[in-house]
Amino acid sequence: MPIKKILIIFFLLIFISENVIAGVQVEKKFKMWESQYVKVEQGKICFAVSIPTKMLPDNLNRAESRIFITFRPKDGVSNEISITNGYTFKKNSNVNVNVGNAQFKFQTKDKFAWMISLNNELKMIRAMKKANRAQVIGISSRGNKTKDTYSLIGFTKAYNSARSNCKKK
């Protein structure tokens, strides 16, 4: 697994656990999305983040899902999309994301999913700017199929805010 992916998984584990000791700060809320950042020794890490408006099946006991677009300027990382569905994913499974008429595939590892191609990440971001919603379909380690729906209202502003907040200085 590339070091980039190990770092993002490590960061997301910290982020999701009870509001990080280092202190994730909400820069601004834009409808269903937020621009957030955390100050780290190497500078800032910024992201646009949202939670689903609907999680199916609704009787499945799991943690909250989230989708992130992350910027880590000190590591040369921008537009990195990752997802957590609130459970451990089935081994060797993929997460499928539908945005408008476009479909995207994410690799999974434990509780996280990410794209491996910056080109595909940029395509998905462009699609997210045009669409009203995204659907994230995954399979848990117990074999439960889930479908989370995210509103994309406010996405473009949150994305632009996070990107701007983490521009290299």
3-state SS assignment for residue 123: helix
Question: Domain total for the chain?
Answer: 1
End-to-end CA distance of the chain: 30
Q: Contact, 82 vs 68, CB < 8 A?
A: yes
Q: Contact, 139 vs 150, CB < 8 A?
A: no
Task: Give residues with Cβ within 8 angstroms of 52, minimum separation 6.
Answer: 65, 136, 148, 149, 150
Whose tokens are 């569905």? That residue is 85
Q: Which domain holds residue 116?
A: 3-165
Quote the pTM value: 0.85
Tens-place pLDDT, residues 118-157: 899 999 999 999 999 999 999 999 999 999 999 999 999 9
Compute the 3-state secondary structure of the chain and give helix, strand, coil in percent, each to the nearest 5: 25, 45, 35
Q: What is the mean pLDDT of the chain?
A: 88
CATH code, domain with 31: 2.60.40.1880
- Cα-Cα-Cα-Cα dihedral of 121, 157, 133, 97, to 10°? 20
